Amino acid sequence: MPRRLINLTFHGVGEPPRPLEAGEADVWVSRERFIDVLDAIAGRDDVRITFDDGNASDVEHALPALRERRLAASFFVVADRVGEPGFLDEAGVRALASSGMTVGCHGLHHRPFRSIGDRALRDELLDAKRSLEAIVGGPVQVAACPFGSYDRRVLGTLRRCGFRTVYTSDRGTARSHAWIQARNTVHRGDRPDLLERIVSDERPPHRAWRRGAERAVKRWR
């Protein structure tokens, strides 16, 4: 039975171990704030946790805190950043997978998928998928679009490349089994009440309708 879920996206946790790119500091949360949000999620079965970009903090801070609370999460790794300073190395990616976490694809080079030509997009997805599969020793079948960038062509290519679920950054709630999963980015200043905010933002019928229409445009453009 499909249910309404809240998908959350984290990026980095704790003190950044590398110079951040423009706009990144806003989605980098302190350890304390991260733990507050996790504690609000623990015990709820309607919240899914995801991490983008494959930062080293995924293993250093997020994994132990998730395990302590018996929570699972999906980690969307940028394949060509594996082993770079401040990002996960291969052992880290394997540690996530062997702890029961899902490892997903966030592109080879972290480029907005819509801006890449057909052939390059296929390579971007397949090279990343194969490289991550070689590291984890199993299939990688979920993807998250860098910068939330997708359209009908991107979705078709993702499907043909063997992805079963695509995570976006469209905000609001998502149906548990849907092919496209809208997500809500957690920002530096967010508090645990963001879960209630996400749901109440969608409550007025005209807002739910508008958000549904916006997503339909993205799928079909």
The binding site for Zn ion (CB under 5 A) comprises 52-53, 146
- Give dist(CA 69, CA 92) in Å, integer: 20
Q: What is the CA radius of gyration of the chain?
A: 17
For residue 108, the minimal CB distance to Zn ion (Å) is: 12
DSSP 8-state assignment for residue 52: E
> In terms of CB distance, is 24 or 90 closer to Zn ion?
24
> How far, in whole angstroms, is CA 151 from its chain's centroid?
17
Are 49 and 41 in contact by the 8 Å Cβ rule? The answer is: yes
Tokens coding 72: 């699972």
> In terms of CB distance, is 141 or 185 closer to Zn ion?
185
Query: Which residue sits closest to Zn ion, CB atoms considered?
Result: 52
- Give dist(CA 156, CA 8) in Å, integer: 24
Tokens coding 118: 């057909």
> In terms of CB distance, is 9 or 157 closer to Zn ion?
9
For residue 18, the minimal CB distance to Zn ion (Å) is: 14
For residue 117, the minimal CB distance to Zn ion (Å) is: 20
For residue 107, the minimal CB distance to Zn ion (Å) is: 8
For residue 110, the minimal CB distance to Zn ion (Å) is: 6
Three-class SS of residue 12?
strand
> In terms of CB distance, is 104 or 146 closer to Zn ion?
146
> In terms of CB distance, is 92 or 146 closer to Zn ion?
146
